Amino acid sequence: MESKLVDQFHFSSTVSLHSSNRWWSGDTVAVVTGANRGIGLAVVKRFAELGLTVVLTARDEERGKKATEKLREEGLGNVRFFALDVSKAASIKTFVSWVETTFGELDILVSKSLTSLFHKCEVESQFYTIPSL
């Protein structure tokens, strides 16, 4: 199923990929978060096929490295991996520092990661407590 999704993913017809309209190069850096499978992986693959430098990020380091290695085996050597957990400030800070050091800047960000700012109400009393203003 996963490889079918990757194989079937295509950019919208509104995005011109004709070489005369090409605005990107191998120096264009794209980061895709949550990209070790599914749509995120398909986006990484397509960007890499178009010649961009792509950073595949995922929380799960093992899966991320495997996905990156698979793309490299397919001839897409312009893909890099970085373990990133977007729900953790320290992880984001480390990643931003790495991007600045490695590339200088970032051109494209596809935020595919899922996270929630909400938390489970552990105690029923939390649900009924209204903070005083």
For 65-129, give the DSSP string: HHHHHHHHHTT-TTEEEEE--TT-HHHHHHHHHHHHHHHSS-SEEEE-----S-----SHHHHH-
pLDDT bracket for residue 24 (50, 70, 90): confident
Q: What's the whole-model pTM score?
A: 0.71
Quote the pLDDT of residue 112: 77
pLDDT, tens digit, for every residue of 72-97?
Answer: 999 999 999 999 999 899 999 999 99
Contact yes or no for 100/31 (Cβ under 8 A): no
Distance CA 130, CA 133 (A): 9
- Band (8; pLDDT cuts 50, 70, 90): very low
Which domains does the chain possess? 2-128 (3.40.50.720)
Nearest to 35 by CA among 76, 80, 77, 99: 80
